[in-house]
Amino acid sequence: MLVLDMSFSMAEKDLLPNRYRLTLDYAIDFAREYFEQNPISQLGIVGMRDGIAVRVSDMSGNPTDHIEKLEGWREKEEPQGNPSLQNALEMCRGALFHTPTHGTREVLIVHGSRFSSDPGEIDDTIANLIGDRIRVSVIGLSAQVALCAEICSRTNGGETGRYNVALHEQNFRELLLSATTPPVTHASEQKNASLIMMGFPSRAVASADHISLCACHHRPTREGYACTRCNTKVCRLPSECPVCGLTLVLSTHLARSYHHLFPLRTWVEVSWAEAVKSVACFACQTALPTIQKGKAKEKTKAVVSAVPSLPEPKGVSESGRYACPACGHHFCIECDVYSHEILHNCPGCQSDTRGQVTVESNGTAMEVDS
């Protein structure tokens, strides 16, 4: 759940054009990035104004629904009244009540005020959040508020990094988009594995004289996806069948969510002694720094193996090279960052057709169809 402060404090212009407009603009970017990183997840948006919580958009797996609602609020509404953290959190509790056990329950609050106008005791609400296993994170746009820090700390098991105050526009955007990555699940919180029933419909396009209504928006469309269980037509994926409740996705949606379960292992720095094995980055073929005189150590005899022994990660590589622990190929720093933040796969492991790599690049992950 995404909670946005829409009180009079958001009319301040310390963030241009003002806090309210900038927050809604970034919320639209957040919705796009969230479903890009988590295509089979769901999102709901709540606003705080006039001392109450208002529902901006319902829980949905369709980013277009949220973007249309946010654009409507941006054009037609202005910030007013006081915020109420308690009312917003209680509304989020109700929206997340039916979340399945295999998912996480998270609330991200963008708070631009230094107070909260609550109708009751917020400590009771915090206790209920802890009981429901709901994690709360807060991004502040003004001074740090002790109440927000307490909410984040108590609902995240004492973690202190869930409450941040934005320094400027760019920092605000970075903090907001960083929340699109799923949180780490601790061993004590792990659930037993469970099977989830899903449908994988194919896209179908009807002729011009066979236009029908989609069950999700009740709009006439020519193209859509038929539920594999009840044959109900929906216009977008991923979604939940409005008739039978079956989760409808594409195989690519599962593939994009896969890397969060088995993240790419950290590449290790390469010493000058090992740098003689490469002259260019394996991925982009950019020339790597040449070996400086006196840097290369004497070679020693070693047992030849498919996976060479590599040093432990220490920081910035002195040779400008970083090696994958699985395939042993050397990469530049740009490809290292791109592979871990965007690609989520090792180019060397993906291109290795010799069958010699015995260690998975993503830990003990299974293979995904390419």
* Cα 158 from chain centre: 22
pLDDT at site 110? 97
Name the burial class of residue 177, with classes exposed (0-12), middle (13-18) and buried (19+) by CB atoms within 10 angstroms of its CB: middle
- At 264 the pLDDT is 87
The pLDDT score that the predictor gives to residue 254 is: 79
Instruction: Give the residue from 289, 282, 251, 290 showing the smallest Cα distance to 350.
Output: 282
Backbone angles phi, psi at 294, to 5 degrees: 90, -10
Q: How many CB atoms lie within 10 A of CB 365?
A: 15
**How far is residue 344's CA from residue 256's CA, in Å, rounded to a whole number?**
9
pLDDT at 298: 44
- Alpha carbon distances (Å) from 225 to 12, 114, 206, 248: 45, 47, 11, 9
Domains and CATH numbers, the chain: 2-183 (3.40.50.410), 198-261 (no CATH), 262-370 (3.30.40.10)
Judge whether 247 and 196 are in contact, CB under 8 Å.
Answer: yes
Location of structure tokens 């193209």: 223
Closest to 48 in 3D by CA, of 94, 116, 106, 137: 116
Compute the distance between CA of residue 304 and CA of residue 285 in angstroms, rounded to an integer: 25
Provide the residue-wise pLDDT of the chain in tens; the chain has 370 residues.
999 999 999 999 999 999 999 999 999 999 999 998 888 889 999 999 999 999 999 998 888 889 999 999 999 999 999 999 999 999 999 999 888 777 789 999 999 999 999 999 999 999 999 999 999 999 999 999 999 999 999 999 888 889 999 999 999 999 999 999 887 665 555 556 667 888 999 888 888 788 889 998 888 988 999 999 999 999 888 888 989 988 898 888 877 777 767 788 899 999 888 888 899 999 999 999 887 655 554 444 443 444 455 544 456 788 899 999 999 999 999 999 999 888 888 999 988 765 544 444 454 444 444 3
Asked if 309 contacts 355 with a C-beta cutoff of 8 angstroms, the reply is: no
pLDDT given for residue 190 in this prediction: 55
Q: Please state whether beta strands 212-213 and 220-221 pair in parallel, antiparallel, or not at all (unpaired).
A: antiparallel
Query: How far is it, in rounded angstroms, from Cα 282 to Cα 295?
Result: 22
